[in-house]
């Protein structure tokens, strides 16, 4: 089997994975390009085997989603005038597409597609772990901040010189003021 660098760089596959409807997907145009077939050929193979593609494997983009893609990504400019809504393949759908195409290139590339999806999943998991650890650290810092503030208050109290005690005069006080004499 050929090495990964001779088929398709993993960065190229990863850059083709989009987040649509909260799912990581690849569009039919990108998948067809990776598998070395025309988009039309890929979509025809999918139609002939539609039972292999439940909604968690494949879905059609809405007009709004297509418009957003065309607006935000220059590489989708050709989709702007297409009357057909693109298909979006999840990780499992991309693998199933390789099986319905049944070409050597599609099978070889599907391995790299899986690896790209797995790498992105691991990155998301790592990000979530970091987020949890960060929240824990924030909680510790907040409690330490309160403790440090209490410590500073105590130190300030110790640094403040005590107020001089009022001297009590000894002797008899008639209660009259000096001016009344």
pLDDT digit string, tens, across residues 58-91: 999 999 999 898 888 888 878 888 888 999 999 8
How many residues are given for the chain?
181
- Give the predicted TM-score (pTM) of the model: 0.57
Confidence of residue 47 (pLDDT cuts 50, 70, 90): very high
pLDDT at 115: 75
Please name the residues in contact with 25: beta carbons below 8 A apart, sequence gap of 6 or more.
17, 18, 19, 88, 89, 90, 93
* Residue 25, beta-bridge partner list: 18, 90
* C-beta atoms surrounding 104 within 10 Å: 10
Assigned token pair, 174: 């008639």
């Amino acid at each position: 089997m050929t090495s990964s660098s001779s088929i398709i760089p993993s960065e190229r596959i990863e850059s083709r994975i989009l987040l649509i409807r909260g799912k990581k997907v690849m569009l039919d145009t990108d998948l067809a390009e990776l598998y070395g077939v025309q988009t039309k050929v890929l979509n025809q193979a999918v139609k002939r085997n539609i039972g292999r593609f439940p909604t968690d494997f494949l879905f059609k983009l809405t007009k709004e989603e297509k418009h957003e893609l065309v607006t935000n990504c220059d590489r989708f400019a050709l989709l702007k005038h297409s009357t057909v809504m693109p298909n979006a393949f999840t990780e499992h759908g991309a693998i199933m597409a390789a099986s319905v195409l049944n070409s050597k290139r599609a099978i070889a590339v599907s391995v790299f597609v899986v690896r790209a999806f797995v790498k992105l999943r691991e990155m998301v998991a790592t990000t979530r772990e970091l987020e949890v650890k960060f929240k824990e650290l924030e909680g510790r810092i907040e409690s330490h901040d309160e403790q440090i503030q209490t410590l500073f208050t105590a130190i300030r109290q110790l640094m403040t010189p005590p107020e001089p005690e009022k001297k009590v005069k000894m002797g008899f006080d008639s209660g009259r003021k000096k001016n009344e004499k």
